[in-house]
């Protein structure tokens, strides 16, 4: 699948933002420090959500995306994100201005954060046509990224480091568990064309000499060539270097460094997540 930059920015930034917002909702942060931290969480989530509209053909109609929550994970995600940001707003104001509100809104918002990240991951995990995504490990990895990124920003090093190690395990599980999914899904050139009853199918001539939307969007091979390298970059950037930074670099610098490295690793992970995913429509073109 074509790794659109807007979607990579959306999934990485909003994942980290909602992870951090969930922790702020649960534990809070007082005064102007609170203002800054809540602002960081809202900023990440907000910029991510804004970025997601950039790849739309008609962003001005984006409000219609709230209408089909009964069947569409994308619509559910729209609702979950807006409801969550709304629920957390009174909690954020209370923390900043010292209203002394209980943590009710924060706890509800934290649940909303988990639901939002889950909805984001289900947009991809629901697609039977992309077997590598159609697996429970995809929501797991998205949630693990949100937890790891959020905990880095929280500055609680004792929790952030084990969370990052768990993220590393989740990434490895996802890579190993989904590697053979395409073959397992059972779609082949023979089943796609139904011509397997006659013999082995190969492309004699393509239907068109130029490219088309389908090929640009679903048959993307550049990233796959560097899959192993990107896997290493993602693992080192998102997990290992942030752990080292949190362990050895003191103060805000260590946290900031860990956050930036983690985000860069997350983007490498997400690039690979898209580039490596193969859509069954490629079979009609004898490609994947």
Partner 1 sequence: MTCLPPRTDKKLGLVIDLDTCVGCHACVTACKGWNDQGYGAPLSDQTPYGAEASGTFLNRVHSYAVQPDDMPAQIINFPRSCLHCEDAPCVTVCPTGASYKRAEDGIVLVNEDACIGCGLCAWACPYGARELDLAAGVMKKCTLCVDRIYNDGLPEEDRVPACVRTCPTGARHFGDLGDPESDVSRLVAAREGFALMPEMGTKPVNRYLPPRKKDRPEEASLLAPLLDIKATGLAGWLDRVLGKLP
Comparison of 193 and 221: residue with beta carbon closer to partner 1: 193
Q: Please give the Cα distance from 212 to 56 (Å, whole number).
A: 18
Query: Are 140 and 49 spatial neighbours (Cβ–Cβ below 8 Å)?
Result: no
**33 binds partner 1, rule: CB under 8 A:** no
Axis-axis angle for helices 137-154, 31-52 (nearest 10): 150
Q: Min. distance of Cβ 188 from partner 1 in angstroms?
A: 9
Comparison of 29 and 283: residue with beta carbon closer to partner 1: 283
Shortest CA distance to 18 belongs to which of 97, 68, 93, 87?
A: 87
Tell me, by CB under 8 A, how many residues bind partner 1.
60
Q: Which residues lie closer than 8 Å to 61 by C-beta, 6 or more apart?
A: none
Q: Please give the Cα distance from 201 to 187 (Å, whole number).
A: 13
Query: Are 84 and 120 spatial neighbours (Cβ–Cβ below 8 Å)?
Result: no
Q: Binders of partner 1 among 217-236, rule CB under 8 A? A: 217-218
Name the helix (H) or strand (E) containing 269.
helix 251-276
Residues 127-166, one symbol each (x = binds partner 1 by CB under 8 A, - = not), give xxxx------------------------------------
Q: Min. distance of Cβ 18 from partner 1 in angstroms?
A: 19
- Using CB under 8 A, pick the residue from 192, 236, 244, 249 that binds partner 1: 192
Q: Which residues bind partner 1 (CB under 8 A)?
A: 1, 55-59, 61-62, 64-68, 70-75, 78, 123, 126-130, 185-187, 189, 191-195, 197-214, 217-218, 279-281, 284-285
């Amino acid at each position: 699948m074509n790794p659109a930059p807007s979607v990579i920015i959306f999934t990485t930034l909003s994942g980290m933002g909602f992870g951090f917002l969930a922790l702020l909702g649960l534990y809070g942060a007082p005064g102007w420090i609170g203002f800054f931290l809540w602002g960081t969480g809202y900023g990440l989530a907000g910029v991510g959500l804004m970025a997601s509209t950039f790849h739309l053909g008609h962003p001005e109609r984006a409000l219609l995306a709230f209408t089909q929550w009964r069947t569409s994970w994308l619509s559910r995600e729209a609702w979950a994100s807006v409801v969550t940001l709304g629920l957390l707003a009174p909690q954020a104001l209370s923390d900043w201005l010292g209203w002394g509100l209980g943590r009710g809104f924060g706890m509800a918002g934290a649940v909303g954060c988990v639901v939002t990240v889950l909805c984001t991951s289900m947009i991809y995990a629901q697609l039977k046509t992309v077997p590598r995504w159609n697996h429970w490990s995809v929501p797991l990895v998205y949630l693990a990224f949100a937890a790891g990124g959020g905990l880095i920003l929280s500055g609680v090093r004792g929790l952030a480091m084990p969370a990052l190690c768990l993220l590393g395990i989740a990434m490895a599980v996802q890579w190993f568990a989904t590697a053979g999914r395409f073959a397992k899904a059972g779609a082949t050139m023979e089943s796609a064309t139904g011509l397997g009853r006659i013999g082995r199918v190969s492309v004699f001539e393509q239907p068109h000499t130029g490219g088309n939307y389908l090929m640009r969007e679903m048959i993307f091979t550049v990233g796959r060539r560097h899959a192993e390298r990107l896997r290493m970059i993602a693992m080192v950037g998102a997990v290992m270097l942030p752990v080292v930074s949190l362990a050895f670099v003191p103060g805000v610098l260590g946290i900031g460094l860990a956050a930036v490295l983690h985000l860069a690793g997350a983007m490498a992970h997400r690039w690979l997540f898209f580039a490596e995913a193969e859509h069954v429509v490629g079979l009609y073109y004898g490609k994947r």
